[in-house]
Structures are given as C-alpha cells and as structure tokens.
Amino acid sequence: MPTLIHHIDAIARQRQCDVLYLEFHPQDYEQYRSYHPEADPQRDTILAWLADHGIDWLPCGSNASSPLAMSSWRGQLCFDIAYDEALPAYCQLRDYLELPDGSMRHAGVRFCVQPLAHAMKNVAHDEPGYWDRWAEDF
C-alpha cells in the first residue's frame, strides 16, 4: 500500500514546533544516485536501535522548495521528541547518534532539526489547492 510521506517543513508547521529528523547521505555521488534506504544496513541498525529503545519515528521528506526541486525519498525519518537538552529522551537519542564532540557516530547520517521559523517560510504550501496549482504548471 502506498505511503504518504510529508515534507519535514510541513510536519513542523502541523506540529507548530521544531522537529528532529535524520537524513541518510552516502558520500560518494554514485552511491547517492543509487541509494535505496531499504537496502542500507547502517539505516537498519539505527532503526533496530530505535525500536529496542521505544523511540517512534515517521518517514519524512526533505524541505519542500518552490519552485520544487524534485527528489526521491532517501529514507529520512522524523521524531516526536523535542529538541531540548533537559529531556532524557532527547539526550538518549542524541547520545546514540552523536559522538561526545558532536560529530556523527554513523558515516553518511545527519541528525538535524527543522526550526519552525524556517518551516514557516513555506506556509503558502499549506493553502488549499497550492499543490494542485503547482502540478498544473509543472
């Protein structure tokens, strides 16, 4: 069954808060072009850790841009955990994904935050009919 995957900026606007998410980016261009998240053992390792620790996630797309630069889903996922150093759930997730110096523990993985203020730059995308009108001009 098809899955509707929302852009990370739309998720931030819907939740009305900053949103944490992961991106998977192979470093080599050829690897990036042929990347399939379902076949990424490193992503599988991260998903298993999330499941083992009861951390829920949803698939998400990158920021929507207008005019839109089309790209396929690259396995991004977002969390319903606030970006807050005082929250144990955030610290647990951060400590798994990042080394003490702030660099990423897993090569080709980026731990990001989508600030609501940045997401609001695309608020016009939420207007009824926006994407239908965009598709007509595509």
Structure confidence by residue, pLDDT tens digits, 50-88: 999 999 999 999 988 766 666 778 899 999 999 999 999
Which residues does 67 contact at the CB level (< 8 Å), separation at least 6? none
Q: Strand 77-79: give its sheet, edge to edge.
A: 57-59, 77-79, 19-24, 109-114
Where do the H-state alpha helices sit in 3-60?
8-15, 29-33, 41-52
Domain segments of the chain as ranges: 8-136
Rounded CA separation 8/76 (Å): 9
State pLDDT tens for residues 97-106: 999 999 999 9
* Global confidence as pTM: 0.87
- Contact present, 129 and 123 (Cβ < 8 Å): no
